[in-house]
């Protein structure tokens, strides 16, 4: 595995694997800058239909914490980190975080900004920064609450302890749990399967889920109704439904 912070490898079926290994000495700013650039590249590369974000060997997004920052610098770094996570969340293609080993601090922030997380039994998750007086700064505190609830989030952030894969599976932080060393192969199969679906429907669906989550039911349903109607001007809708009626596999164009 290359010693670069990020490394993109694309399979024949349109799945890009973004390896965020990093050296433990890389700073979180370096890692975020790399990630920011790679998200832009992945978003505009047409051959890329879906993205796996993974680490190499023993962990995901390792980096060393910044040494003491001025409040101004810390605020800027947090703003940039949050923007990068929003970019990842809104990339318009399915994203899965694939975790073997440690996924902590910035690593967990990145994983939480993906559509969902899968992991092997060797995975561990947490925000250990509290021991040195740090809290999540890329939206992690907000995304974790929405995923596992308030008390579990407080327990994780207050204690700084890492939880193992079993517990992460139990509290639904991760969607799927695989044997050690098998997470990436399985995630690749899962994402290739997802990529046979309508990219258009997946993109619109993801956007409506994100946009509707924090608003009331009635307003969210109006938004959904309009997005649903929009699907009926797409090639994919005609093709998908015709294929269903013809009992054949659809050939989507993603438009």
Residues near another protein (CB under 8 A): 94, 115-117, 146-148, 172, 175, 190, 193-194, 197-198, 200-202, 204-206, 208-210, 212-213, 216-217, 220-221, 224-242, 244-245, 250, 252
Nearer to another protein, 53 or 204 (CB): 204
Nearer to another protein, 21 or 120 (CB): 120
Nearer to another protein, 65 or 250 (CB): 250
Nearer to another protein, 37 or 150 (CB): 150
Helix, strand, or coil (residue 9): strand
| Beta pairing partners, 179 | none
The nearest distance, CB 149 to another protein, in angstroms, is 9
Nearer to another protein, 6 or 240 (CB): 240
The nearest distance, CB 163 to another protein, in angstroms, is 16
Nearer to another protein, 24 or 247 (CB): 247
Strand order of the β-sheet with 102-104 is: 102-104, 124-126, 163-164
* Helix runs in 67-216, H state only: 71-89, 106-112, 140-148, 150-159, 165-170, 183-194, 199-213
Angle between helices 199-213 and 235-246 (to 10 degrees): 120
The nearest distance, CB 212 to another protein, in angstroms, is 5
Distance (Å, rounded) from C-alpha 192 to C-alpha 184?
12
Distance (Å, rounded) from C-alpha 28 to C-alpha 77?
9
Contact call for residues 108 and 156 (beta carbons, < 8 A)? no
Distance (Å, rounded) from C-alpha 79 to C-alpha 192?
33
């Amino acid at each position: 595995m290359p010693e670069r912070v990020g490394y993109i490898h694309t399979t024949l079926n349109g799945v890009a694997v973004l390896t965020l290994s990093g050296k433990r000495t890389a700073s979180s700013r370096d890692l975020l800058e790399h990630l920011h650039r790679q998200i832009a590249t992945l978003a505009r590369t047409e051959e890329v239909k879906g993205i796996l974000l993974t680490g190499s060997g023993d962990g995901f997004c390792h980096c060393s914490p910044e040494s003491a920052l001025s409040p101004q610098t810390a605020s800027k770094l947090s703003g940039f980190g949050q923007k990068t996570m929003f970019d990842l969340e809104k990339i318009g293609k399915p994203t899965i975080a694939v975790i073997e080993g440690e996924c902590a601090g910035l690593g967990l922030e990145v994983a939480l900004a993906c559509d969902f997380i899968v992991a092997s039994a060797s995975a561990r998750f947490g925000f250990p920064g509290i021991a040195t007086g740090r809290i999540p700064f890329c939206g992690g505190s907000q995304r974790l609450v929405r995923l596992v609830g308030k008390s579990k989030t407080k327990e994780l952030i207050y204690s700084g302890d890492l939880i193992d894969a079993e517990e992460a599976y139990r509290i639904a932080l991760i969607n799927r749990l695989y044997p050690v060393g098998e997470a990436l192969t399985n995630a690749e199969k899962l994402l290739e399967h997802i990529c046979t679906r309508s990219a258009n429907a997946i993109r619109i669906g993801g956007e409506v889920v994100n946009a509707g989550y924090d608003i009331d039911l009635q307003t969210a349903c109006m938004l959904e109704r309009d997005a649903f109607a929009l699907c009926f001007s797409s090639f994919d809708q005609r093709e998908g439904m015709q294929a269903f009626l013809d009992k054949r596999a659809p050939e989507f164009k993603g438009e």
